Amino acid sequence: MGGGALLAGAAAWTRTSAMGLPEAALMESPDMQPPLFPKSGPDYQPVVTLNGWTLPHRMNGNVKEFHLVAEPVEREMAPGMIAYLWGYNGQSPGPTLEAVEGDRVRIFVTNKLPEHTTVHWHGMILPSGMDGVTGLTQPGIPTGKTFVYEFDLVKSGTFMYHPHADEMTQMAMGMMGFFVIHPKDPALHRVDRDFVFLLNAYDIDPGSYVPRVMEMTDFNMWCWNSRVFPGISHLVAAKGDRVRVRVDNLTMTNHPIHMHGYDFEVTCTDGGWVRPEARWPEVSIDIPVGAMRAYEFDAIHPGDWAVHCHKSHHTMNAMGHDVPTFIGVDKTQLTEKIKRVQPEYMAMGNRGMADMGEMEMPLPDNTIPMMTGWGQFGPIEMGGMFSVVKVREGLSATDYADPGWYEHPAGTVAWEWTGALPAPASAKDAMTVVPPAGHAGHGTKG
Ligand SMILES: [Cu+2]
């Protein structure tokens, strides 16, 4: 009897072994890939990863098998800038993993990095020995070796994966990804479009390619999925869609994500779904460090709606912070002197920094401007953590292509006043003086 059990076990092992490892799919494009609909098992609405993709799996008996390869990658952060990062299967972040509550998963992790690594499954309920903490729950996966993680997915929700091995270096180099577990009941928490992105940050000196991994606070590339505006995918939705946006934060500071045109409600954290009676309305949602927040809204207002981090320095690219403020300073004479030795010199900042948005200033190779990206009305003067939610009528359910800029109905765009301008050029010259509260009568300029 014991022999029989052993034989059955050996047979199962042989079958797995004969099939070899699942193929490790590779992604060469930084473009957003279409949703990967399930080919077997329970139905679900797959997510779309901004500038990313979902890793295909194979079924081996009742087990979903995935193969992640930790390796150095070249990631385009926006057209014109490549970063040398570490990631998985050709990109940073790694591919999104998607499965269903109740699935058993077997995840092969091959290490092609120059040092050992592990994978920690952030937020998931699993056996302690599958938790991926070097030294604590397993030895690090040595260079060139493959380890197997296998566990049951006992709850649905939004989770992430990242190394728990030399984390400071490996996460500063871009090793992270999403793990989405769909509810077993396809009707539960169902939405029409489901977008995911990770907040991450790098410190890459202008003209260079490799992040400075020792940086703790002063980053210059504030990214969604290792991309910066204008390189970040737009979030396209059909009018009437129920839309979910899942945002994970693996930077070292919080990010208040603000979306225009809508109010929305927080429906999920990495701890689980928020009960309907516990949800509250927001227009900005702060994403704490090491946490996930998902919000939902009904896309009933057509338009081009900005979505961005509300820390204004996080919507800038490659900027230095040690720059004095020049607002109101006349630099004409100084500029002439500097141009004698440096003809390309441009004075800036004496009217504010908006000139940077359209300035064609010479930059080091592999560097993108601090604020860039054009809309239908001119430069958008943003970089970093910024994208556009584009809500349009009549899109098909699987259409995520950029529909272009919004055609505003006549009379609905802010317009220039072309009538007479009254004389006062500043508030202090105004003719009407509003009296302080508690005083009767109204004054006029004396
Ligand atoms: Cu931010």
Model confidence pLDDT, tens digit, residues 208-239: 899 998 888 888 899 999 999 999 999 999 99
Q: How many domains does the chain have?
A: 1
Residue 322 falls inside a structural domain: no
Residue 424 falls inside a structural domain: no
Terminal alpha carbon distance of the chain = 108
Residue 12 has a pLDDT of 36
CA-to-CA separations, 102 to 39, 99, 153, 156, 269, in angstroms, rounded:
17, 9, 5, 9, 20
**Stretch 81-87: mean pLDDT, rounded?**
95
Cα(213) to ligand 1 centroid in Å equals 19
Query: What is the tens place of the pLDDT at every residue in 385-430?
Result: 999 999 999 999 999 999 999 999 999 999 999 998 876 666 666 6
Residue 444 has a pLDDT of 45
Q: Give me 390's structure tokens.
A: 């584009």
Residue 276 falls inside a structural domain: yes
**Stretch 184-189: mean pLDDT, rounded?**
94
Residue 265 has a pLDDT of 96
Give me the CATH number covering residue 270.
2.60.40.420
Evaluate if residue 67 carries a pLDDT over 60.
yes
Residue 185 falls inside a structural domain: yes
Query: What is the tens place of the pLDDT at every residue in 260-312?
Result: 999 999 999 999 999 999 999 999 999 999 999 999 999 999 999 999 999 98
Residue 85 falls inside a structural domain: yes
Cα(217) to ligand 1 centroid in Å equals 12
Residue 354 falls inside a structural domain: no
Cα(309) to ligand 1 centroid in Å equals 5
Residue 324 falls inside a structural domain: no
Cα(270) to ligand 1 centroid in Å equals 19
Confidence category of residue 382, pLDDT binned at 50, 70, 90? confident
Query: What is the tens place of the pLDDT at every residue in 244-258?
Result: 999 999 999 999 999
Cα(310) to ligand 1 centroid in Å equals 6
Evaluate if residue 121 carries a pLDDT over 80.
yes
Residue 334 has a pLDDT of 72
Residue 442 falls inside a structural domain: no
Residue 421 has a pLDDT of 80
Cα(368) to ligand 1 centroid in Å equals 19
Judged by average pLDDT, the poorest of 13-17, 37-41, 186-190, 225-229 is: 13-17
Cα(388) to ligand 1 centroid in Å equals 16
Instruction: Report d(CA 116, CA 379) in Å as an integer.
Output: 45
Global pTM?
Answer: 0.84
15 or 95, which is more confident? 95
Report the chain's mean pLDDT, rounded to a whole number.
Answer: 87
Instruction: Report d(CA 181, CA 153) in Å as an integer.
Output: 8
CB neighbours of residue 348 within 10 Å = 17
Listed in sequence order, the residues at least 6 apart from 369 whose beta carbon sits closer than 8 Å to its beta carbon are: 317, 318, 356, 359, 361, 363, 383
- Domain containing 150 equals 25-309
CB neighbours of residue 88 within 10 Å = 29
Question: 203, 211 in Cβ contact below 8 A?
Answer: yes
